[in-house]
Amino acid sequence: MTFPVSPPHDPEALPHSHAGSGMQSAAEPAQAHLSKPHAAPESISLQDVTLARGGRVVLSQISLAIPQGSFVGVLGANGAGKTTLFHALLGLEPAVQGSMQINGQPVRRGHRAVGYMPQMRKLIGGQFTGWSMVASALHGQRWGLPWYGRAGRAAVDAALAAVDAQDLAQRPVAALSGGERQRLLLAQTLLDDPSVLLLDEPLASLDPARMRETVERIHTLARARNMTVLMSAHDINPLLGLMDHVLYLARGKALLGTVDEVITTKALTALYGAPVDVVRAGGRVFVVAEGGGSALQEHDCGGCGAHA
Ligand SMILES: Nc1ncnc2c1ncn2[C@@H]1O[C@H](COP(=O)(O)OP(=O)(O)OP(=O)(O)O)[C@@H](O)[C@H]1O
């Protein structure tokens, strides 16, 4: 997927024409919440939330509600605020204004119901086995706990089994492929049996087949455990057909809805405040800025080749 460059924060108009669609934007704070069969309770909700980094507003007056069990792709150009949003939901970045709840409770640091896979994943502890690497995240601890107790060991075994990684348990992490390490990282996030998973670019550096396999694995796990998943990505295509909703961030605003509601020329042009084309070809979706490649960030050019 390709995204246009997002200019510095400029909270201007978003489309006001989605009434009745279930799509939510910061311009429509009173919009009905996303619908799910059986009226699932809210898993994540934000009211009028503004987030800043380094004294600069990154997301402005965001209001949204995500039902329990939703699988949400979080999309946006570099710097759009995906990681900032995750940090805020983890209680690591206080909101400048507004309120945020997870499972009906105000967000707080160290919430056991929230599993998190960070974006920057240096290979710390590559000398460990897969089992030790997963165990190192028990109860939020990292690296070096010598003894875990019976319950802890069972939790590690269960997490490894959940991601089909028992065969990696005794292998040195340094000798594993990126995709295998990804599975161990996912196992870490499952240790506390979370009801919400925040996954920051878990597909980074995977090949297309591994990307899809990873999304399917996470989707299957999420469905089986009724977990809410927010997964940030730079390419929407591996997520197509599995996401319930897209949360698209641009220019300090957020747009939440189904793929068909959000990933349209009209909706994204309004969100960006600049011409954006959504092109569907061969079962894939591409988002391109008017003027083509030069306006696009290299990192976002998952589909640039198709438009050359
Ligand atoms: N520690 C920091 N101090 C100051 N500004 C920061 C910090 N971290 C991020 N920012 C800024 O906040 C904005 C949002 O960054 P964020 O990391 O949330 O974007 P992102 O959508 O996750 O981007 P990417 O796709 O590149 O990971 C960017 O303009 C970034 O430069």
- Alpha-carbon distance of 232 to 237, in angstroms, equals 12
What's the 81 CA to ligand 1 centre distance in angstroms?
A: 6
Pick the residue whose CA is nearest to atom 24 on ligand 1: 78
Q: For residue 284, how many other CB atoms are within 10 A of its CB?
A: 15
Model ipTM value: 0.97
- Which ligand 1 atom is at minimum distance from the Cα of 234? 25
Q: What is the pLDDT of residue 291?
A: 60
Any ligand 1 atom below 6 A from CB of 237: no
Residue 207: the pLDDT is 87
Instruction: Name 279's Cβ contacts closer than 8 Å, sequence gap at least 6.
Output: 285, 286, 287, 288, 306, 307
The pLDDT score that the predictor gives to residue 200 is 94
Q: How far apart are CA 49 and CA 21, in angstroms?
A: 22
Ligand 1: distance of its center to the CA of 61 in Å? 18
pLDDT at 290: 67
Q: How far apart are the CA of 108 and the centre of ligand 1, in A?
A: 21
User: Looking at ligand 1, which residue's alpha carbon is closest to its atom 17?
Assistant: 83
The atom of ligand 1 lying closest to the CA of 85 is 18
Q: Where in the chain is the domain with CATH 3.40.50.300?
A: 1-113+196-308
Q: What CATH number does the domain located at 1-113+196-308 have? A: 3.40.50.300
Ligand 1 neighbourhood includes 58 CB (under 6 angstroms): yes
CA angle at 153 for the pair 230 and 132, rounded to the nearest 5°: 75
Q: Is the CB of 87 under 6 A from ligand 1?
A: no
Which H helix or E strand runs over 185?
A: helix 178-190
CA angle 246, 251, 254 (to 5 degrees): 30
Considering only CA atoms, which residue is closest to atom 27 of ligand 1? 78
- What pLDDT sits at residue 182? 86
Residue 118 CB less than 6 A away from ligand 1: no
pLDDT (tens, 9 = 90+) of the chain, 308 residues, equals: 333 333 334 333 333 323 334 566 644 433 334 655 456 789 999 999 999 999 999 999 999 999 999 999 999 999 999 999 999 999 999 999 999 999 999 999 988 899 999 876 666 666 789 999 999 888 645 455 556 778 888 999 999 999 999 999 999 998 998 888 888 999 999 998 999 999 999 998 788 888 999 999 999 999 999 999 999 999 999 999 999 999 999 999 999 999 999 999 999 999 988 898 998 988 898 888 766 532 224 333 333 322 22
Distance of alpha carbon 5 from alpha carbon 295, whole angstroms: 6
Please report the atom of ligand 1 found closest to the CA of residue 54.
Answer: 4
163 with 10: CB under 8 angstroms?
Answer: no
Say which DSSP state 242 is in.
Answer: T
**pTM of model > 0.90:** no
Confirm or reject: Cβ of 251 under 6 Å from ligand 1.
no
Say if ligand 1 is within 6 A of residue 152 CB. no
Amino acid at 244: D
Residue 252 CB–ligand 1 contact under 6 Å: no
Q: What is the pLDDT of residue 306?
A: 29
Neighbours of 155 (CB within 10 A): 21
pLDDT at 15: 34
Residue 80 Cα to ligand 1 midpoint, Å, equals: 7
35 ligand 1 Cβ < 6 A = no
Which amino acid belongs to residue 47? Q
